[in-house]
Structure 1
Amino acid sequence: MSKTKERAMPMGVPAQGQPAGPVAPPRVSARRRRPGLIALSLALIAAGGTGVVVLVLQAGHRTQVVTVTRDVQVGEVLTEADLGRASIALDPAVKAVTADELDSVVGKRAAVELRPGSLLAPSQVTSHQLIKADEQLVPVGLKPEQVPATALTPGQKVRLVHVPAQGEDTTTAKDPQTPESVPGRVVKAGKAAPGTGVVVVDVATTADDGPRLAAWVSAGNVRLVLDAPGGS
């Protein structure tokens, strides 16, 4: 072989007719392991496992709560026979009377109508009498067009306005331009009667205004007006 051909051949390639020598394996540089990265990975795995354990424990955690076992009307005193106990997985957002508080609600009055099978909430009972000693309870029937769109709830302050028949004088001596009215407080609002849609609202008012309001209701000349929150 001429010297020219020998120069043209790439280095490392055996010349024609010569035996090939051993080929060295390619060098692979080993990656350096980072202890910090390994520790972080282990921490994330542990945290994930802990989260699963917490979720499982929360799902299995049950709370003893107080339930209603029979119908209780607004203002009625709660007895042990009206209440029961149940064990449920309670969402923290749900406010319910716990079983260890049952004795504290017995003897209180229902602030709203209670139905069997429902949980008892703290806001559904009260230690105050819904009808005070100097008050009277007057049922007021409202036609569908007279029922406020805002739901009537116990404790709401209202004003009962006398709407007279044609030719009847309803102005007061203090203010001839203002119709006669009496203040009241909602004790209970019933459901609309089938067919007529009339809603009966029990209103507590003073003993002096009670008979007058009852006369207005009998004549069908009364309207219910909601007071602003905090109004008298």
Structure 2
Amino acid sequence: MSKTQERVDASSNGVPQQGRLSGPVAPPRVSARRRRPGVIALSLALIAAGGAGVAVLLLQVGHRTEVVTVVRDVQVGQVLTEDDLGKASIALDPAVKAVRAGDLDSVVGKRAAVELKPGSLLAPSQVTKDSLVKAGEQLVPIGLKPEQVPATALVPGQKVELVHVPAQGQEEAGKTSDAPPRTIKGRVVKASGAAPGTGVVVVDVATSAADGPTAAAWVAAGTLRLVLAAPDGE
């Protein structure tokens, strides 16, 4: 037999004998991995922590409060309008006093008792239904040097007395040196911050229309001093 014939006999349909499968092939055996109790416990702890975090977040969202905010500058004594105010939903601390959004209509039409800045919450004490300058009153601006400014903060509505102090070496005609100085009752409407460089504070004081010109003359002469009145205003 020729070598060519032997090659043909050694194959079937041209496929070598060594390439044939002798039977079904068993799948590879995969050894079972040993489970680690510590890893399982850690996984469960992480899942629990994640669930607790989600629960806290949901509680915070659920306890947000709608409050009134200031959306543009409002000067002292200015009447509030709806355009001056907005609403925001925040997680409000019980210690913070803020006007609730449902009470917005109750503050519209009132006057700002203090200067209001955009982005701040509106507190009930920052508005008043009373005009800061009433009928029959005049507004007198008074410049106070740093040494004349009281340590107690000057706030709108605070009652003060304007005291006339004659210039050194001078006395009013008909007045003796031991006579009490003249005073004018007033009420703070607004107090500015200290001016850069000079530290001068400008205080707007409301006085009666009859006393306004006198107080203005004292200011011009540099003979006016401002003192705080008693807490009861008397």
Normalising by structure 2, report the TM-score: 0.72
Displacement after TM superposition at 1:153 (Å): 0.5
Q: Residue in 1 aligned with 2:150?
A: 148
Q: Tell me how far apart the structure 2 counterparts of residues 184 and 140 of structure 1 sit (CA, whole Å).
A: 11
Task: List structure 1 segments (4+ residues) > 6 angstroms apart after TM superposition.
Answer: 53-56, 171-175
Q: Which segment is superposed worse, 175-184 or 131-140?
A: 175-184
- Residue number in structure 1 paired with 2:138: 136
Q: Find the partner of 1:91 among 86, 90, 93.
A: 93
Residue 124 in 1 paired to residue 139 in 2?
no
- SS of the equivalent of 2:230 reads coil
Q: Which residue of 1 aligns with 2:63?
A: 61
* Deviation at residue 56 of structure 1 after TM alignment: 6.3
Matches within 5 A, 1:12-27: none
Give the letter for the 2:195 counterpart.
Answer: A
**Does the residue aligned with 1:217 lie in a helix, a strand or coil?**
helix
Are the aligned partners of 2:171 and 2:177 in contact in 1 as well (CA < 8 Å)? no
Residues 110-140 of structure 1: CA deviation (Å, up to 9, x unaligned): 0001011000000100000001101100000
Q: Distance in 1 between matches of 2:173 and 2:188?
A: 25
Amino acid corresponding to residue 214 of structure 2 in structure 1: R
SS in 2 for 1:93: coil
What letter is aligned with 1:152? L
1:194 maps to 2:196? yes
Q: Which amino acid aligns with 2:107?
A: V
Structure-1 separation of matches of 2:124 and 2:198: 35
Return the offset for 1:104: 1.1
Q: CA deviation at 1:172?
A: 8.1
Residue correspondences, number: 181
- What's the C-alpha RMSD, in Å, of the aligned pairs? 2.3
- More deviation, 54-63/178-187: 54-63
3-state DSSP of counterpart to 2:210: coil
Measured at CA, do residues 229 and 174 of structure 1 come closer, stay the same or move farther in structure 2, by a change above 3 Å? Answer: farther
Q: Which runs of 5+ in 1 are unaligned?
A: 1-52
Aligned to 1:35: none
Q: CA deviation at 1:166?
A: 2.7
**Alignment identity in percent?**
74
In structure 2, how many angstroms separate the alpha carbons of the residues matched to 1:201 and 1:172?
A: 31
Query: What corresponds to 1:9 in structure 2?
Result: none
What are the ranges of 5 or more consecutive residues in structure 2 without an aligned counterpart? 1-54
Aligned pairs for 1:1-232 within 5 A: 57=59, 60-170=62-172, 177-232=179-234
Letter in 2 for 1:156: Q
Which structure has the greater CA radius of gyration?
2
**Match of 2:94, as an amino acid?**
P
What does the per-residue CA deviation read over 1:59-91, in whole Å, with 9 as the maximum and x for residues that have no partner? 641011000011111000001111011000011
Mapped contact 1:158–1:186 kept (Cα < 8 A): yes
For residue 73 of structure 2, what is the amino acid of its counterpart?
A: D
Q: Hey, what's the Cα distance between the residues in 1 that align with 2:173 and 2:58?
A: 69
- Evaluate the alpha carbon distance shift between residue 78 and residue 174 of structure 1 in structure 2; reply closer, same or farther with a 3 A threshold: farther
1:137-173 per-residue CA deviation (whole Å, 9 max, x = no partner) reads 0000000000000000011110011111133324887
Distance in 1 (CA, whole Å) between partners of 2:177 and 2:65 is 59
Pair 1:230–1:95, CA change in 2 (3 A) = same
8 Å Cα contact 1:63/1:88 also seen in 2: yes
Cα distance in 2, alignment partners of residues 224 and 172 from structure 1: 24
Please say if residues 171 and 179 of structure 1, whose CA atoms lie closer than 8 Å, have aligned partners that are also in contact.
Answer: no
